[in-house]
Amino acid sequence: MPVQTERRMRLPPDARSPGQARRMVLDALDAPELDALVDTAVLLTSELCENAVLHAGTEYEVELCVTDTELTVTVSDHGAGPLEVHLAQPRRRYGRAASHGRGLTMLQRLAAAWGTRHEADGTHRTWFTLLRTGDPPAAEPAPAPPAAGGPVPAGSERTRWLLHLPAGLVQSLEPAELVAELVRRLHEVLDAGSVSVEVDDGDGTGLHELARTGEPGPAGVLEVVLPTTAPLRGLLRVTGDGGEWPRESAELAELVAHRIAMAVESAWLRGVDQRRRAWMTYLAETSELLSQSLDVELAVAVVPQVVVPRLGQWCAVHLADPLGRLRLAALTHADEDALPELRAVLDPAGRPGPPAELRDRLADLLRDDGAGATARFALPTDGVAVALRARGRTLGTLVVGRPAGRPHSPEDVVLVGDIARRAGLAIHNAQSTAAHVDVSQALQQALLPRALPVAPGLDLAAQYLPATAGTEVGGDFYDVLTIDPAHWLVSIGDVCGKGARAAARTGLVRDVLRVLVRDGRTLPRAVELLNDVMMDADDPLQFCTLAAAQVSRPGPGEPPGFGVDLVLAGHLQPVLVRRDGTAGLVGAFGTAVGLVPTVSLTATRHHLGPGDTLLVYTDGVTERRRGREQFGSERLLAAASAAAGQPAAQVVEAVRAAVERFSDRPRDDDIALLAVRALPA
């Protein structure tokens, strides 16, 4: 295809060389039909030339070729490495570190095609192509920049070129790329030594260079503050070779500063929105993690894990004891090797212990007037500390060391406080649950005998398996009471329901039955009076099934062993395991206590020969489920029969093991087992 325009220029590795290449491209494309390509071609040529200056460090050539279908620009250098590798690396000189491979991404985004060639003589060529499409625009073309070495156009023409960028190109550029192009244009219009833009994002790191072109001159510094919204702030700096800048140059710099401020603030707001979305997700995930456990140690251990390393290099949680003294409850560090030394510094009980400054800050936070406050400290590293509070009570402190390479920003401090509030609530809930569990388990243990009595000639054993080890108090109980040296009361029962009401009713049943039997009443009469007491409570939902047996030594002329008088008030039949291995259910069903005013009871008499065992149990045994199938009485008899002749503890264990083997599902009901065995003669 015929070549319409061809230009070539050899340039030194100088900061002003990219500006000369830009002028060559602008001059060569000074035709209406090429207006749609001019700004993109100039922008990409600038990127390739600046990279050649920054990374190759040798003379380089710029070639422009325009045909009737496309435009191609080639930059050739003689550097030690391929230019496309440098294009993908952070820019270190001239304040271009913020771009991070901007040239490569711009070529991929804006050029129709691009590539690189490595010649045998060590020349590296990087090129890009733009396609010519459509008719020339009807709109008036943008004016050209001032000619190299010529007078600067005055008035609106110069201002228009300085600020005019096609809307399509602006939409394709990242804010940093747009700022860089505006900086280049201002540099050319003012013929300045250098133009740079510095921005402070308000994150505590201070000003950093966003874009720069040229090299600073010895004098003539013009600084314009970017009109941005706090906490974002920025500065446009122009340097020259002479004295003060004329008023017209200062006005142009202010115009460009406004355009740059719009781009910088747009990028900053977008970044703020992205960070806000990320933090919202982060806080939601933190809340979910903290709520997954009601165990105090686990809840505390999660807190430093969600803080490090996003909000700091290390994090410690101190909890306060009832006397207000702090103890180190959890600690983590991004570098695990630093943990031992950090623990020695932060543990109040260790050596050397927290520095005085940090110790005083934490003590202040524990006071009530420290609610919502943030304390800063400088040792062992600088960081922030906030109180862990919930329900108006201070539980401890959250201490966070600074992030890597920077202090905590105001946004970081707000997030640390937010996490502290969530962590305080999670720890408070875990502590409340732990206290509730302790009370429930203490109450459950109070409903069971601490130890079974010693009964000459009898072997006693029992097991109690709660459905959960949590806050629920079960209604199952067992009891063995020595009435006198020759008589014992053996009882087991199941109060309907769980919780405090069931526990209170369980205590009532056990204690009232004890008193009534000790007063010399027979078992049927004692159970009838117990029913009267329960009916007086007028709570039909708190009835109880009960199996009560009075075990007695044999009288003169009676066979060896023990007599058993058994009463069942709505309870399951006990198992009588003979020494020879036979087993059967004994007893006659009666009415549960607490349901109706008058109960129907039948007392039955049985004999425990030497080696025989009476096993009483609750319905958690026979009603243990595996799918639709229950453990049932047949399996119970088989398990008990298999342990015939064994000590009472082995009989109880054999039945328990059989129930557990039957189903691996979590228990949904309490299990109580009590065995009474007559010892062999």
Give 596-642 pLDDT, tens digit per residue. Answer: 999 999 999 999 999 999 999 999 999 999 989 999 999 999 999 99
- Classify domain 291-441 at the CATH topology level: Beta-Lactamase (3.30.450)
Joined tokens for residue 7: 């230009």
Q: Dihedral (C-alpha) 298, 299, 300, 305: value to the nearest 10 degrees?
A: 90
Which SS3 state, helix, strand or coil, does residue 281 take?
Answer: helix
Bridge-based pairing of strands 487-495 and 208-214 is unpaired
Strand segments, DSSP code E, in 122-247 are 124-131, 194-200, 208-214, 219-225, 233-240
Q: CA 326 to CA 516: how far, in whole Å?
A: 53
pLDDT band at 320, cuts 50/70/90? very high
Look at residue 260 and tell me whether its pLDDT is greater than 80.
yes
Residues of the chain with CATH 3.60.40.10: 447-678
For the segment 358-382, the average pLDDT, to the nearest whole number, is 81
CB proximity list for 323: less than 8 A, separation 6 or greater: none
DSSP symbols for 623-656:
T-EETTEE-HHHHHHHHHHHTTTS-HHHHHHHHH
Q: Tell which residue, 446, 318, 329, 341, has the closest CA to residue 394.
A: 318
Positive/negative CA dihedral, 30, 32, 37, 38: positive
Q: Do the beta carbons of residue 97 and residue 198 sit within 8 Å?
A: no
pLDDT band at 437, cuts 50/70/90? confident
Q: CA 382 to CA 19: how far, in whole Å?
A: 46
For the segment 447-475, the average pLDDT, to the nearest whole number, is 85
Give pLDDT, residue 372: 63
What is the residue whose two structure tokens read 């030194």? 12
Q: CA 42 to CA 166: how far, in whole Å?
A: 13
Q: What is the mean pLDDT of the chain?
A: 86
Look at residue 438 and tell me whether its pLDDT is greater than 90.
no
Q: CA 599 to CA 49: how far, in whole Å?
A: 104
Residues of the chain with CATH 3.30.565.10: 1-141
Q: CA 214 to CA 16: how far, in whole Å?
A: 6
Q: Do the beta carbons of residue 365 and residue 394 sit within 8 Å?
A: yes
pLDDT band at 98, cuts 50/70/90? very low
Look at residue 585 and tell me whether its pLDDT is greater than 90.
yes
Bridge-based pairing of strands 233-240 and 219-225 is antiparallel
pTM: 0.61
Look at residue 576 and tell me whether its pLDDT is greater than 50.
yes
Joined tokens for residue 566: 């058994």
Class of the CATH domain delimited by 1-141 = alpha beta
Which ranges in 68-174 belong to alpha helices (H)? 83-87, 102-110, 155-163, 167-172
Q: Tell which residue, 152, 155, 265, has the closest CA to residue 200.
A: 265
Q: Cα 246 from chain centroid? A: 57
Give pLDDT, residue 530: 94
Give pLDDT, residue 391: 87
What is the residue whose two structure tokens read 């600084």? 223
Residue 262 CA: distances (Å) to CA of 223, 255, 256, 535, 630: 18, 11, 10, 82, 75
For the segment 435-444, the average pLDDT, to the nearest whole number, is 77
Which SS3 state, helix, strand or coil, does residue 319 take?
Answer: strand
What is the residue whose two structure tokens read 């103890």? 327
Joined tokens for residue 263: 């781009």
Give 488-547 pLDDT, tens digit per residue. Answer: 999 999 998 777 778 888 888 999 999 999 998 999 999 999 999 989 877 777 789 999
Give pLDDT, residue 91: 46
What is the residue whose two structure tokens read 């202010």? 254
Residue 649 CA: distances (Å) to CA of 384, 577, 593: 59, 14, 30
Q: Write the single-letter amino acid at 464.
A: Y
CATH number of 447-678: 3.60.40.10
Q: CA 22 to CA 7: how far, in whole Å?
A: 12
Q: Write the single-letter amino acid at 272.
A: V
Look at residue 478 and tell me whether its pLDDT is greater than 60.
yes
Class of the CATH domain delimited by 151-285 = alpha beta
Burial of 230 (0-12, 13-18, 19+ CB in 10 A): exposed
Residues of the chain with CATH 3.30.450.40: 151-285, 291-441
Joined tokens for residue 433: 């649950």
Q: What percent of the chain has pLDDT over 70?
A: 91
Radius of gyration of the chain (CA): 44
Residue 600 CA: distances (Å) to CA of 84, 588, 597: 98, 11, 10
Q: Do the beta carbons of residue 201 and residue 232 sit within 8 Å?
A: yes
Give pLDDT, residue 470: 61
Identify the weakest region by mean pLDDT among 71-85, 119-133, 242-256. Answer: 71-85
Q: Do the beta carbons of residue 549 and residue 603 sit within 8 Å?
A: no
pLDDT band at 159, cuts 50/70/90? confident
